[in-house]
Amino acid sequence: MSTPTLHHEHPAHEHTHGPGCGHTEVPHGDHVDYAHDGHLHRAHSGHWDECEPGGHVAHETHDHVHGDGCGHPSVLHGGHVDYLHDGHRHAAHDGHWDDH
């Protein structure tokens, strides 16, 4: 299940993301996000957007526990850490994992 992504432009973003730019690439649906300063940026119509989910989506059937050494890359995202797993970003939330 996916949620719509909010369109929230990241103003004055002069850095151009792309392969080899030094920021973690995060596959996300039909595009790639770039982890930069605790934000996830995506290209959109000639500018960069903050790529944030449009609602709360619990990943109900997720039995794996993420953390240091779990084998999945971690990405700082706002005030928490997301884990990249099977093309999704998972974040701990109220005893379950959210699908970002």
For residue range 2-59, list pLDDT tens digits in order: 444 455 666 666 778 888 888 888 887 788 888 877 778 888 888 888 877 666 777 7
Side by side, the strands of the sheet bearing 39-44 are 5-9, 47-53, 39-44, 31-36, 25-28
Residues 6+ apart with CB under 8 A from 55: 3, 4
Q: What radius of gyration, in Å, describes the C-alpha atoms of the chain?
A: 13
- The first and second tokens of residue 29, run together, are 């649906």
* pTM beyond 0.75: no
